Amino acid sequence: MRQALVDLLQENCDITATIADGNAVMKEVAITGPDIVLLGVAFEGTTGFEIARRLRRSKCQAKIIIVSFSESRDLVRAALAIGVSGYVFMSRLLDDLPAAIDAVCGGQVFEPQA
């Protein structure tokens, strides 16, 4: 999944890191101060939801977008409740990720369509 995201984004975005370990995400975000953090749901040692919670508690200003194979509306609501700026279903990645990035950069929240 990580490489597919890099391939999709690298033409229009500067990719600062791709990371599989949850603790490394926190360190990298603190060092690089990205505008957007894309998170999957599963990481080594934690979840994307827990990383998002930790980023928000640390006052990280980056917009957070979760990309997930799960299309559970409960997960979308849970993500938005913890301060995630957008949620993209993997099944709609090509269409929705660019739209999600545009939306969150514009200060909006991106929710996938049913």
Which residues, at least 6 apart from 6, have a Cβ–Cβ distance to it below 8 Å?
A: 15, 18
CATH number for the domain spanning 60: value is: 3.40.50.2300
Per residue in 42-92, pLDDT (tens digit) is 877 788 899 999 999 998 899 999 999 999 999 999 999 999 999 999 999
Amino acid sitting at position 93: L
Say how far apart CA 87 and CA 109 lie, in whole Å: 9
User: Which pLDDT score, from 0 to 100, does residue 71 have?
Assistant: 93
User: Which pLDDT score, from 0 to 100, does residue 10 have?
Assistant: 62
**Would 48 be classed as within a structural domain?**
yes
Per residue in 9-36, pLDDT (tens digit) is 666 666 666 777 778 888 888 898 888 8
Say how far apart CA 102 and CA 41 lie, in whole Å: 21
**Would 18 be classed as within a structural domain?**
yes
User: Which pLDDT score, from 0 to 100, does residue 53 have?
Assistant: 94
The total domain count for the chain is 1
**Would 111 be classed as within a structural domain?**
no
**Would 113 be classed as within a structural domain?**
no
Residue 62 belongs to what domain range?
2-105
**Would 40 be classed as within a structural domain?**
yes
User: Which pLDDT score, from 0 to 100, does residue 58 have?
Assistant: 92
Over its C-alpha atoms, the chain yields an Rg (Å, rounded) of 13
Give me 78's structure tokens.
């849970």
